[in-house]
Structures are given as structure tokens and as C-alpha cells.
Amino acid sequence: MLLHNRFPSLFLYPPPAITTMAILGTSEAMAVGLTLGALALVHYVKQANANADRKLPPGPKGVPFFGNLFQIDVLRPYPKFREWAMEYGPIYRLKLGPQEVIVLNTAEAADELFVNRSKTFSSRSPPHVAHDIMSAGQRQVFLPYDTEWKASRKSLQVAIGPGASKRVRPSQDLESRVLLYDITQHGEQSLQEMKEGPNGEVPEAHWFSLVRRYTTSIVMTVTYGKRAHKILNNRHLHMIYEVLANFTKVGQPGNYLADAFPILRKLPDFLAKWRVDARKMHEWEMILWGGLLKELQDEISNGISRDCYVSNYLRQRGEAGHEDAPGCGLTEDGWLRDTLLAYTAGTVLEAGSDTTASTMQSFILFMISHPEIAKKVRGEIDRVVGSERMPAFEDEPNLPYLVACIKETLRRRPPTIMGIPHSSDEDDVYEGYFIPKGSTVIGNVWAIHMDPKRYPNPFAFLPERWYEEGKPTRWGSGPDTDRDHYVFGWGRRFCQGSYIAEASLFIVLARIMWGIDFILPKDEKTGKPIIPDINDEKTFSDGFVSIPYIYKLGFKPRSEKHKKLIERSYEDSQAEWQVLGLKTDER
């Protein structure tokens, strides 16, 4: 049974104000509106008076009460935010309802606040509906900078941090062999007409599913000790994608008026359908994240041991006297309780599945859009690797142009395109501008990556920005300030899984470019290739994770020698999965 048939209301998100007015009579609606308006006006005036003597950053004029709320496309805000960056400069201010929003549009401004002043700017401004209700206040990405977040992050360091990332490489090697085989078997299927589902669901028969299976399987193995060994009829896989699609929409700041106007949170349930729906979303998410946790708890009870983040943590917690720790938050001595543990593990999947897959899909889109660059990448790989073996991790220092192309993909099309907003824990001043305590502070990744001073001709795909012949190309991802892009965030909130993501991008894309030729669809009338326009925003999805919409593409091995090596490598991987005690692939 499809999830949207079980919970149809989860996929309907009318604005709360519309929902409220729709179920009230005229007089009641007027009374509620006047009351909320009066209370909000009092708050607005108080806040304006408090900041009257402070020099706030410049910014676009809004309207009373709502501020700039109606000037922004909530699910696709980054074009407007960049437009304002070009008008107002490195820092500007918005008002989204009563909420102060400070937007940082240069690398220097973001580095100064999020890295050099990380003590003040490492917290979050979580969206009320997505975090407090849908996530029961436990989603790590939105947790404030406090003991819960610190305990959650510390628990992950041994599983996905820099040292741990090297232990993931055997899985990345095997899974990339499977992906290469899947692509060759897929052939020209994705040249057929296919459409995404109503909530962005990728058809199982489309090649995007093959890439997503790879990225999800890597993170599933690290987190739960289980592979995504099949695509068809895979209950966990499809629930994960449903959760991801839902989260990227619901979690977008400002998607609900209740996110911007705290006064609306006091409405009773019969006037707040968004709250009722969000609770159902939480129940649905816990079927997945809580269910995966329960499976491993049951295995431990039955004496089955997996070497993965959740099982290892549960064993350690049990040895500390907390075999059972239901509920949210931490135990008195600092161990993650079940709901926080479930969401911490789920966050790894959310952060590492679609974002890495979308970068791979974007990379291939840039390659078919720039055949001269693809030819240069292949020439480099052929010189270094040849046709007798596949690229390996050890080849990375000798493939600087490939790495430069991956870096340029991350710059040109960052998955989390606006970053994830931080929050100011104290009043502060930057470049003479006052930043009030409690402000939402956005590192505008899109504006930074499209800054013509930092990246001349920013909309062009130019790997040469990073490439120096004869020298390895550094990733330059951070977390320090000597960096080249900002895909993985800043400071104390820097993405822990960045090393795993980079390794996946390298090994998968190196092997695809080594062994696969792309087959482009052609216009029946002109015979010209049909390629999505990389400069058209309609090519990419909305939501705070912006990924390419599915596009047509076929695949074939570059030669018979490549084909046989891919097939033999796939067969060897199946034997190795059995040795590791993991499920072999079903197709």
C-alpha cells in the first residue's frame, strides 16, 4: 500500500491562514483575525522600538506585520535572495513576520560569523512545524546548540567522522561496482517518457533510482548495517524517499505562517490543520526511523550483532545501564534516548542520500552539456587508469581534472542551495550593523557561489578554476576558512559526513566516466540532442534541497573490454557481500 493512500492528508499543505479561515464563519474569522492582528501589532511595535537606536543592516522594504513574507517564493527563495544580495551587498536584513532575518552574501561575512564567532552563531532557528511537531523537537539538523545536539554529534563522530570515513571505502568500492553494472543493464530504458510522482517521486524504472540506491545503501550500511540490495518492492527504500521529499518541502523556513508567527501556535487543533497534519507526519516518520531502530534492538536481544552506528550505540548504552531508554532527549547521564537516537540516525540518511545523489546527477548533466569537458575528463582517466582495471581511490591524486569537475559541480549547483539557517544567541555587531539576539542568520550559499568577484563568470561551468596541471586538486570543502565552496556548511555545524560524500562522488563518477558512454535523446525533427538547460531554474526542484528533475539519458559500455570487466567486477562483489554477511543484490 502506498504511503499517500494510508495518510492522504500528509501530502496536502494549504497555508495555515487559508485553512483557518475556511472553517470559520465570517464573524468568527473577523474576530480571530482582529485579535491576532492586534497581538502581533503590539509585538511588532515593541520590537521596532527596541531596535530604534541601533543601526540594522539595509534591506528591502516590507509591509507592516508581515514584513517581506509576500516578496519571497517560499519553496524557491534563492533567486530573490541573490537579487537582493546584488542590491544591498554583503549583509542585509529581512522581516518574515516578526522574525528578524540576517542574510550573509559573501564568504568573508559568513566565515567571520559562523567560524570566528561560532560561539554566538552556532545555534538554529528551527521551523516550528517541521521541527517541534513533525520531528518532536529531535531532528539533529534543527537542534539548538545545546547538550542534546552536542551528544548527538559526538555519537556520530566515531561512525562518519574523518577517521571513520576510511572504513566506509570498502562498501563504496563494492556498491559502485553494483551501480556501474546496473547502469550498463539499464541501457536505454530512461530514453522513454517518464514522469515524477505528485510529490517528486522518482519512477523506479528511471536511472535516477540506480544512483539513489547507491547513496542510500552506503548510508544504510553505516547507520543500520543493512544494504539497499534491491529497488523494486523495497519497503525501507521507498519510505526513506517519501520522508525526504516531504521533509524538503515542510522544512523550508517560512513554509507555514505558524513558523513566522508564534501567536498562531496558540490556536486550538480545530483551527490549526497544519498541526494535526504535522503530528500525522511524525507518526509516519517514526514508522520508518523508529521501526529501523526497533529492528536492531530486537536483533541485539536475540544475540545478533551488527557493526554499525545504531547497534554499536545501543550496545554501549546498554552497558551503561540504559538498555531501555524510551522517549525524547537524553538520560540523566547524557545518553541519547530512543526518539533522539532514531532521528539522529535518520538525519544521516537525510543528509547523505539525496544530496550526494543529486550532485552525481548534476555532474552528469554538466558533462552532457559540455562534451569538450567530458572528453578531457575521459582522456585523463584513460591515461592514468587504462582499460585493464577500474579507477580506485588511490588514483585520486592523479586525476586532478576529474576532481576539479566535481568541485565545480558542487559550486555551480549546491544541493542545499541556501544552506541551513543559523541563529544568534547574543546581540552582536558586524561591519557596524547590529544583529539582534534571536535573529535567524542565513549563509546565502547560492549568492556566495555566484559571487562574480570570487568566481568570475559565475554561471559558467569552469573546472579550470580549480585545476592546475600536474598537481592534485584539493577538495577545499572546509571546515576552516581556507576553502573553495560552502556545500557542507560552516563552523561547529559543518557536515560530519563530508569525507564520505567526497569519497562517494570520486569513486562513482570516476568509474562512470571510465566505463560508460552516454546516449542522448534526439529531437525527431532536427536530430539535435535534447539536454535540459542547466541555466533554467525549472530544470531543478524546489525545496531547501534543490535537485535536478529527472531527465532522459541512455547508457552503454565504452567497449567490450569495459563491459566484461564491469560484469566480472559485479559478480565478485556478490561473493564479497556474502562474506560480509550482507544481502546480495536482487534485480
Task: Return binding residues for heme.
Answer: 495
Evaluate whether 506 touches 403 at the Cβ level (below 8 Å): yes
The x, y and z cell numbers of residue 540, run together, are 531543478
CA 16 – CA 271 distance, rounded (Å): 9
| Kind and range of the H or E run holding 31 | helix 26-50
Q: Is the dihedral of CA 578, 169, 231, 304 positive or negative?
A: positive
- The one-letter code for the residue type at 480 is D
Cβ contacts of residue 370 below 8 Å, gap of 6+? Answer: 461
* CA distance readout (Å), 257 to 18, 67, 489: 10, 12, 27
The x, y and z cell numbers of residue 548, run together, are 535536478
Best CA proximity match to 310, nearest among 175, 500, 171, 159: 159
Cβ contacts of residue 445 below 8 Å, gap of 6+? Answer: 414, 416, 417, 418, 419, 486, 487
- The one-letter code for the residue type at 449 is H
For residue 496, report the phi and psi dihedrals to the nearest 5 degrees.
Answer: -70, -25
CA 232 – CA 587 distance, rounded (Å): 8
* CA distance readout (Å), 51 to 54, 64, 125, 213, 258: 5, 16, 20, 50, 24
CA 444 – CA 112 distance, rounded (Å): 14
**β partners of residue 519:** 554
SS3 assignment, position 278: helix
SS3 assignment, position 88: helix
SS3 assignment, position 517: strand
CA 230 – CA 507 distance, rounded (Å): 21
Evaluate whether 259 touches 101 at the Cβ level (below 8 Å): no
Helix and strand counts by DSSP (H, E) for the chain:
19, 9
Q: Is the dihedral of CA 110, 112, 113, 117 positive or negative?
A: positive
DSSP string, 43-79: HHHHHHHHTTTS-PPP----BTTTBTGGGS-TTS-HH
Q: Which residues are annotated as a binding site?
A: 495
- Intra-chain end-to-end CA distance of the chain, in Å: 21
Cis peptide before 479, with omega less than 30 degrees from 0? Answer: yes
